[in-house]
A and B are shown apart, each in its own frame.
Chain A
Amino acid sequence: MGTHLWNRKHLLGMADLSREEIHAILEAAASLREVNRRDIKKVPTLRGKTVINLFYENSTRTRTSFELAGKRMSADVINMSVASSSVKKGETLYDTLATLQAMNPDLVVIRHPESGAQEFLARHLDASLVNAGDGRHEHPTQALLDLLTIHDNLPLLEQEDFSSLIVAVCGDSLHSRVARSIALGLKTLGAEVRFVGPPGLLPFRAEEAFGVRVFHRLEQGLEGAHVVMALRLQLERMSVGFIPSVREYFAFWGLTKARLAVAAPNAIVMHPGPINRGVEIASEVADDRERSVILDQVANGLAVRMAVMYRLCGVGGGR
């Protein structure tokens, strides 16, 4: 599995990863998928290692995926969910980390509502870290599972590699760590990335910041796209004036079958979940087994997280 390509202590973001490192993870994940199809779904790779899932935001999907990944690798996995609604009350992040450090874990998976929380951890913890989403900054394992899913579909899309691929990331990329991470990963692999959405929901100067192309109208952004990725719209965005209403949003930026007609033939549809039916995506698209690879993403997420854990602290891994 090309261990020489991977000697990082942490996985903090896609911005750090080279093309070779991304491919090394994807290859490892592809071979680990076999474990998940076995009758006895367990390998001894992380036996004796302690993994702590430190989640400051509710996330059943991601937390479960990391938990299962750790358990299938035989690690001892502990979940810590911390209500973080008010940082002013209760324990500071620094004090929580001091407590964690005393338990001497090997790997900490962190999900936090503040951008940059993972950098804070890296300064105060000795363990390896996996960023499972920090604010609106990065969510690298989501990007890697998306890349694996796209990679699996390259033959269907009649592409040899990522270099001629066009990926349209549609919706609220401003508040999305998924959009940032997948854009960075895809750019590293040479694909064309588009951010498509109303101006107020796109990152400031996104072209310059991420090397993406920006489209405000969905019809234009989807034209010729091989991969269409819909982003979840947080419904609370409306109350603060980003968009007027769900009805208006779906009318202009909802992903429907009719709108997908301008995309490339066989174009696939992705969504990081959980989906809002009738908001950013129509049910007819989400449930279309010809186009939607949303459930493949979930399965690949498990394999990618196993691969990341293996690379960071498995025997023969980086350290």
Chain B
Amino acid sequence: MTSHEAAPGKERMSRDFLAAVIARRFPKGWLVNLGVGMPTMVGGYVHPDQEIVFTSENGVIGYAGIASGADIDHDTVNAGVQFVTLQAGAAIVHHADSFALIRRGMNDVTVLGSYEVAQDGSFANWRTSKGEWDNLGGIGGAMDLAACAQQVWIMMEHTTRENGPRLLEHCTLPVTAPDGVTMVFTDLGVFSVRDGRFTLEEHAPGWTPDEIAALTGAPLEVSPTVTEVQFPT
């Protein structure tokens, strides 16, 4: 069953829409780490007045955005090994210093993609198989970031391709961290994760809280101030 069959005529928020929603939520001056994949899109939507500093696990402190054409420098990449440009005043450190900054909690937030997130704030984003521990997977810097950033925000699709839930009571995949997620941004809404439960804070345009709850694999509280997600201006 596809999502269209599940909710005929209902459009979900696009990745760009979601990236903009996340980007404009950063308070002024935050030090932000963006995970590989979907979260890298967030960097394109911050406003200069926010004075956000983007850091990358490979030691780039202060990259400006994805580079193209003549701006490409072959030695300047982000954690996704995408060519990036540097902000004025950028600094570059080696990997151990980069993770020293991460471990001491310098990052106000890390925005990571995920396959699953649970109501206890745990999430799973480094392997898709559930079998015995065989040392196979792609952790990268996610465990260091998840354990040490001040906040962990998850940017993900609300459901699997088969329309199964990704927001769950318990993760079924091996976790990246056993707790720490504070916000989840999906193509259906914005959710806070607090005191062991998900709360719907904002719903996608055209979607009701009940419709979203039906596609969520854990109890979903609805904020008394729930609103429709607004595209940031």
Chains A and B are bound partners: no
Q: Which residues of B contact A (CB under 8 A)?
A: none
Q: Which residues of A contact B (CB under 8 A)?
A: none
